[in-house]
C-alpha cells in the first residue's frame, strides 16, 4: 500500500505512531511498500516495529509424532511465502535498527501456550491456508484415517478427545526501530 493509500484508509499523520505490530502476516506483504509506509508513520528516531510469526506447535510425544508427518504431507499446498515462517523470519528483509540495549533485531524466541481439545486441533488445521488450498484442489488433508490417528494420539494415556492439552507454539519476534535515517 502506498503512503497515499495508507492516509486514505487510516487517519494517521506522518511520524505519529510509536509502534507498528504485525502478527503472522508479514511474509504476505509487499515488503518495500509496507516498510515505506511504516517508516513514514513511525516517530523518529525511536518508533518501533514488532513483527512475529509462529512455527509448528508441540503438544506431547504422541500427538507430535502424528502432527509432524501430517505437516510434511501438507507442504505441496503451502504458498512459497511460508518458507519465511519456516525460517522463523530470520531471512526476511527487515531494514530497521536494533532497539536500545540490543545488538540485533532478532528473531527473539518465546513460547505461547494454548489449552486445546482435539476439536480445537482440527479447527486449527482447518484454518491453514494450505488446508484450504488443498480443499480447493479437491484434496482432503484431514481424511478419516488421519483424524483417527490424531484421536489415538490425543487419547493416549487414558484421556479422551474432549480432554484439554497444552499446545506450545514457538513465537519468533523481529523488533527494530526506525532510526534517524530510515
Query: Looking at residue 40, which CATH number applies to its domain?
Result: 3.40.50.150
pTM of the model: 0.86
In a domain, 112, yes or no: yes
In a domain, 182, yes or no: no
Which residue, chain included where needed, has cell 519456516?
A: 86
Neighbouring C-beta atoms of residue 32, cutoff 10 Å: 10
pLDDT in tens, 94-153: 999 999 999 999 999 999 999 999 999 999 999 999 999 999 999 999 999 999 999 999
pLDDT in tens, 8-29: 777 788 899 999 999 999 998 9
Number of structural domains (the chain) is 1
57's CB contacts (< 8 A; 6+ apart) are: 67, 114, 124, 167, 168, 169
Amino acid at each position: 500500500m502506498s503512503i497515499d493509500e495508507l492516509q486514505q484508509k487510516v487517519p494517521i499523520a506522518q511520524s505519529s505512531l510509536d509502534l507498528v505490530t504485525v502478527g503472522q502476516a508479514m511474509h504476505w506483504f509487499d515488503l518495500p511498500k509496507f516498510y515505506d509506509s511504516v517508516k513514514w508513520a513511525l516517530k523518529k528516531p525511536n518508533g518501533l516495529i514488532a513483527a512475529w510469526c509462529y512455527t509448528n506447535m508441540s503438544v506431547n510425544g504422541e500427538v507430535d509424532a502424528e502432527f509432524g508427518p501430517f505437516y510434511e504431507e501438507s507442504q505441496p499446498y503451502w504458498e512459497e511465502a511460508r518458507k519465511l515462517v519456516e525460517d522463523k523470519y530470520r531471512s526476511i528483509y527487515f531494514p530497521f535498527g536494533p532497539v536500545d540495549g540490543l545488538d540485533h533485531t532478532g528473531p527473539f524466541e518465546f513460547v505461547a501456550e494454548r489449552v486445546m481439545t482435539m476439536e480445537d486441533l482440527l479447527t486449527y488445521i482447518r484454518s491453514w491456508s494450505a488446508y484450504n488450498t488443498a480443499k480447493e484442489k479437491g484434496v482432503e488433508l484431514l481424511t478419516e484415517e488421519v483424524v483417527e490417528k490424531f484421536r489415538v494420539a490425543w487419547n493416549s494415556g487414558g484421556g479422551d478427545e474432549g480432554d484439554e492439552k497444552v499446545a506450545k507454539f514457538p513465537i519468533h519476534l523481529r523488533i527494530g526501530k526506525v532510526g534517524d535515517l530510515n
